Amino acid sequence: MDVRFSILGPVEISIGGQVAPLAPRHRGVLAYLLLNADRVCTIDRLVEAVWGLDEPDTARAQIHASLTAIRRVLRAADAARTIETRAAGYVAHPASDQFDLTDFNDLVAAAEHAAAPLDAVAGLRAGLALWRGDALGDMTAAYVAGARARLHEQRLTAIERLMDLELSLGRHQQVLDELIAQVAENPLRERLAGQLVLALYRAGRQRDALASARALRTALVEQHGLDPGSAFMDLEQAVLRGDPELLLPVEPMPPEPHRPLPPNPARQPVAPPPETPPVSANFLPYDIPDFAGRTDELDRLGVPDQQGSGGIVAIDGMAGVGKTALAVHAAHRLAERYPDGQLFVDLQAYAAERAAVAPAAALEILLRQLGIPADRIPIDEGDRSALWRSELAGRRIVAVLDNAAGADHVRPLLPAVTDSLILITSRRRMIDLDGVHAVSMPVLPPGDAVALFERIVGARATAEPVAALDVLQLCGFLPLAVRIAAARLLHRPQWNVGYLAGRLRDERRRLVELATTERGVAAAFALSYGQLGPAHQRLFRLLGLHPGRDIDPAAAAALADLPHADDAELLLEELLDVHVVAQHEPGRYLLHDLLRAHATAIAAADESDTARQAALSRLFDHYLYTARSAVDLLFPHSATDRHSLPPVTRRIAGVDGTDAAVEWLHAERANLMAVIVHAADHDRPEFVRDAAVTLRPYLDGYFRHTDAARLHAVALVAGRRLGDRSGEARALADLGWTHWRRGEYADATRYSEHALSVARANGDRFEEARALNTLGNVRWRQRDPAAAREYFHKALWITREIGNRGGEAHVLGNLALVLGDDRHAEAREHLERALDLHRQVGNARGEALVLNKLGTLYRRCGLTEPAREHHSQALELYRSLGTHGDEAAAWNGLGHTARARGDAAQAISEHATALELAVRTGNSPEEADAHEGLARAHHLCGQLDRAREHAELALKQYRALGLPEADVVRVFLAELS
């Protein structure tokens, strides 16, 4: 009989595919012998390995008993010689194909010597697929910790080698989720962290890459007091620079011929300046010598080519973003172009202890700078404005109107049609000024921020580039914060950059650190805050409590307890106009990190703990019940699952229509996850439990399986904290189902078996049936139809017993496909009954699923016309529901049917569509099926190279999933060669 020994997960002996029963102590002895295969282990050595220094008096007897039990099992399989008795002790001789650790090592070794990267990837994935959890499972013997650590190191080394290969093949997008998960499990693993940084950078996510790099360094410093190695720091610097060498090489494109822009006939040519411009008064402040970056903004002002052509430019941005520095720098650079004067007036709209300069006073300053005698300057503001416009006629001047309060503040200072350039800076957008060119300033790009910091600090910054990047990220790339941090370092020779970064890392003191005796980030923010009305101030400080990245008006209304979303939107838009909040897409608002810290600090000072908790409760209610409204619309058949939610304490509008429901859930998914994690971290397990119940259908139906795994993991912890055994069983069943959907069958089995145990102990028949259904699906995918049928029959009996028609429909649909080829009529009856049940309960997704299975059944019977009709019906339903991951299954069904009819071209087209959808949604099983379908369709067309290519990809995917289809594809590949 076929005997297999497994230690890469639970320690097991499998005989003919069935796990032999062995007590934990016996399995511990077996595992030690296997780890020391072909080496003699004495009784004393076995005793020490199992018990260490705490051996009982019966230790030797227990070892003998263990060996007897192991041999009894092996004798039953005619494999007793695997464990031999020697004079000195005992030795294990597993055959090379009997031991999963040997198989793993062989596959890894073969990958190292593979001729092609694809072969190496396939070998490594096949080896890693042998792991079914932590090595040595639940063993607790003395030797286990050390052995498990060594095996874990081998596995991580193989994963790192695999990721190197995948990245070299340009698959950074495909391995991002894997790398994120691995780094989360191994946060101190430098090589993995570097691979994640590189993958994120290649995916166009430079800031995320830099944040991941900083996370590793923070963890190393906090836990071990160490810095990463030089290779990692070099990578981080290359990412910061935007080094193109980090990207995969591409074929060079031929250069396009230069096509100059056509002239603008509406603009008259401007006469060139005289060779020796006349002397004019320059009232501009000094141009800071360490100005860095802002290339895009300077381009828009016409600075690089010195071709300023006059006009009015309003430069707006948040406090500290560098508006004045940009305007002054641009004015200096353009001074030669405007030879009749370079003027400057600070309108002081944001001065701490001074009133803003009135337009009349500002006009007097400007007219004097033009050289107008005091006795010629009128008293009346209107007359001064007229004189100003008159004097500018025929002149070419550049004037900076700094720190304007708004449009009314500067309107009297604007010229008539003129060749002069007026640069206005303000924290408020100049929406009410017609014909003004607006330049809104974001924070500095990382490269510009580094350049600014290095120009101020000098060699100390370049000597610690990684720590310098830390400082800049903690400053939020805000120029004022960067300058203050650099100034603190410059004037403290005893500090190094790393020490400064450490001080800034303390969120409670960050704004305190970013201040000097004359200026500070918090002080600049406070001036903006002080000019807001009471309602705006309250909303701003409450926004600091929001755990998510952004917020929409409805959520803001809940947070601030406003009657309607329109009330919140009006406040948010006004905050946007003064750059207290930002907007990254219509209807969604966010705070800069430092502004968020400022808002949080003000909320802590001005709002009581009760008020803050009430605001969060309103926000949580809004998210939970709006999500429930959306999910009820999209998944009406499961609405009864959400009836247990507590009643809402305030009016929540919900969403209107299925399109709005999908749009809202997609837009708020990241916020929902952030709120749930916040609730989990702040002792709100009831909210976590209720959110998991609410969001489960959406995350599963729209293939958001990474979020689903996180959600159900925290829900499991919440259920245990609440002592809610039903909640625990539900979370375990959800985790099992989620891992099944991701093609992670070992984890799906582990969680589902645990769910089954908890549900049975708790008498929870509903979750028991769900766990059995998942286990049946796993066995079906692993081509064990007998076991699958057994699980499905048990689940079917329970669903009928408790009257769960939706569950019965799902189980019937699954059971139909695992019946034998001689039971097609019975299978069709099951599917037709399932289809009727899904329609009764209103489960359109279940209906589409069964229609697709009917198509598969008809194709197996050779009835291609009804097969194609049912696959097409399923496709239309999936399209109408917007579930693209499931849509891939329908396209694959159509492809298989087309090939069965001999239409290879049609099959290629349909499998290609399935492949694109499966890759986009992370549906690994359908991705593998699409590759296999493409391979066979190309073979039918005689396109052997394409057939081989897709067959190899299918084989790799099936091996990664641990599915027996790999053997079928391997045979097909052999036929192709």
Tell me the C-alpha to C-alpha distance, in Å, between residue 445 and each of 31, 239, 370, 448. Answer: 55, 12, 37, 5
Q: Which of 573, 553, 572 is nearest to 563 (CA)?
A: 553
Torsional class of 700: left (φ above 0), alpha (ψ -120 to 50), beta (otherwise): alpha
- 1, burial (CB in 10 Å: exposed 0-12, middle 13-18, buried 19+): exposed
744 contacts 714 by C-beta, under 8 angstroms? no
Instruction: Look up tokens 């005091």; give the residue.
Output: 374
Q: What is the pLDDT of residue 84?
A: 86
Q: Are 743 and 961 in contact (CB under 8 A)?
A: yes
Element (H or E) spanning 313, and its range?
strand 311-316
Q: Which two tokens stand for residue 468?
A: 């310098």
Q: Which residues of the chain have pLDDT under 70?
A: 1, 248-280, 304-310, 352-353, 417, 643-654, 820-821
**DSSP class of 425:** E
Q: What is the DSSP letter of 520?
A: B
Per domain, the residue ranges of the chain are: 1-169, 295-440, 446-523, 608-723
Residue 845 identity (one-letter amino acid) = R
Place of tokens 């403290």: 492
Task: For the beta carbon of residue 671, count every other beta carbon within 10 angstroms.
Answer: 20
Which amino acid type is present at position 5? F
Q: Contact at 8 Å (CB) between 382 and 327?
A: no
Is residue 51 within 8 Å of 59, Cβ to Cβ? yes
Specify the pLDDT at position 932.
94
Kindly state the greatest CA–CA separation across the chain: 120
| 421-426 sheet: strands from edge to edge | 342-346, 398-404, 421-426, 311-316, 437-440
**Helix, strand, coil share of the chain (percent; to 5):** 65, 5, 30
Residues 490/491/495/501 CA torsion (nearest 10 deg)? -60
By the 8 A CB rule, do 756 and 729 touch? no
C-alpha span between 901 and 315 (Å, rounded): 66
* Residue tagged 């069983």 (tokens): 729
| DSSP conformation letters of 747-759 | HHHHHHHHHHHHH
The terminus-to-terminus CA distance of the chain in angstroms comes to 32
Cβ burial, residue 134 (10 Å; 0-12/13-18/19+): middle
Strands 421-426 and 582-585: unpaired
Per the CB < 8 A criterion, the answer to whether 575 and 556 are in contact is: no
DSSP-H helix ranges across 764-823: 765-781, 785-802, 805-818
| Helical (H) or strand (E) element with 398 | strand 398-404
The residue type found at 679 is A
pLDDT at residue 653, as a whole number: 67
Q: What angle do CA 114, 118, 121 make, to 5 degrees?
A: 80
Q: Are 290 and 302 in contact (CB under 8 A)?
A: no
> Would you tell me which CATH number, out of the four given (2.70.70.10, 1.10.150.120, 1.10.10.10, 3.40.50.10140), belongs to the domain 1-169?
1.10.10.10
- At 910, list the tokens: 């349909």
Distance CA 237, CA 213 (A): 10
Q: Rg of the chain's alpha carbons, rounded to an integer?
A: 35
Q: Distance between CA atoms of 416 and 419, rounded to whole angstroms?
A: 10
Q: Is-above-0.75 flag for pTM?
A: no
pLDDT of residue 539: 96
Per-residue 3-state assignment (H helix, E strand, C coil) for 85-111: ECCCCEEECCCCCCEHHHHHHHHHHHH
Distances from the Cα of 245 to the Cα of 161, 510, 580, angstroms: 21, 35, 38
Distances (CA, A) of 773 to 749, 815, 828, 838: 11, 9, 19, 16
pLDDT number for residue 256: 35
Contacts of 906-909 spanning 24+ positions with Cβ under 8 A: 907/933, 907/936, 907/937, 907/940, 908/934, 908/937, 908/938, 908/941
Residues 502-545: tens digit of each pLDDT: 999 888 888 888 888 778 888 888 888 888 999 999 999 999 99
> Which residues on adjacent β-strands are paired with residue 404?
426
Q: For residues 899 and 940, is the Cβ–Cβ distance under 8 A?
A: yes
- The rounded distance, in Å, linking the Cα atoms of 850 and 843 is 11
**Where would I find the beta strands (DSSP E) of 503-609?**
582-585, 588-590
d(CA 92, CA 500): 58
DSSP H helices, 842-964, are 844-860, 864-881, 884-900, 904-921, 924-940, 944-961
Instruction: Give the CATH architecture of domain 295-440.
Output: 3-Layer(aba) Sandwich (3.40)
Could you give the 3-state DSSP secondary structure of residue 439?
Answer: strand
Q: Torsion angle, CA of 748/753/759/761, rounded to 10 degrees?
A: -160
Query: At 655, is the secondary structure helix, strand, or coil?
Result: coil
Q: How far apart are CA 449 and CA 455, in angstroms?
A: 10
Give pLDDT, residue 265.
35
Strand partners, 162: none
H-helix or E-strand spanning residue 829 = helix 824-841
Cα distances from 313 to residues 296, 336, 342, in angstroms, run 15, 18, 15
Whose structure tokens read 């078996």? 753
